[in-house]
Amino acid sequence: MIKGGNGDFYRYDIVDGRWDSLTRYDYKTMVNFQEKKKKIGDGAGLQYWYGNVYLLKGGNTCEFWKYTISSNTWTQMGPDSLWSIPLVERQKKVKGGGALVVLKTEKGRGEIYATKGNNTDEFYKHDAPAEFFFTISDNSTENVMGDKISTESFKLRIVPNPAVNITTVHYSLPITEPISFKFYNVAGVLVKEYTTTIPSKDGILMLDTKALPSGVYILRFNSGDIRVTRKLVLEK
């Protein structure tokens, strides 16, 4: 539960029957991407999704925020152009009547739906971040049918990890196939992508991460039936 105007945020413990106070949304210090201070207000909505609580801020804003349970922290979802509720014909923002819901569509995937309220009929949908961004195992290796792949026939290493500005991805495949790498931040936003149509069985890819901020990122490797996820930590 979030109180709105003052940003007090609570979790109810069903077993112990008590409310626990969490990190409050302090609008004075948690400025938005435009460096403006805006309170949570009319039209706000909260939804849980795989380790995070998502907030449609309301209060005559277009902002969308995330509370990460593991770190007890708030961050605005970015980039702004991708996650903030759009301004269209009448340039109205989210206010009274705004609402938020997340629906699971298939394993690890879902869709976020939001109404803008504010005397509009505007209705929006956005893909929810995939489950693997929050539940990934460093040794996750499977094909599209979910079958385990022999570690003797497939290898993938990220060196160094943690990384600073440059890291390398070393791979070895059981058969010669085209490959692709997709690099995501923990919000599920694709930040880099590499694709080769030239079949390759063994190779090395240099990842330039100088422009990326510190944090946890997810590397998604695809080749034929092989789909692999790995975690990469950047320490600047």
DSSP-derived secondary structure for 188-219: S-EEEEEEEEEEEEEEEEEEE-TTSPSEEEEE
Q: 136-234: what fold? A: Immunoglobulin-like (2.60.40)
Query: Are 60 and 95 in contact, with CB atoms under 8 Å apart?
Result: yes
Lookup: tokens for 115 = 């109404």
Please choose, from the candidates 137, 143, 173, 182, the residue with its C-alpha nearest in 3D space to the C-alpha of residue 155: 173
- Residue range 190-196: mean pLDDT, rounded: 83
pTM summary value: 0.58
* pLDDT over 90, % of the chain: 37
pLDDT band at 130 (very low <50, low <70, confident <90, very high): low
Does 142 score more than 60 pLDDT? no
Cα–Cα distance for residue pair 173/224, rounded to 1 Å: 10
pLDDT band at 47 (very low <50, low <70, confident <90, very high): very high
- Preceding peptide of 162 cis, ω within 30°: yes
Q: pLDDT value at position 194?
A: 84
Residue ranges of domains in the chain:
10-132, 136-234
Among 98-102, 106-110, 195-199, the range of highest mean pLDDT: 98-102
Does 96 score more than 70 pLDDT? yes
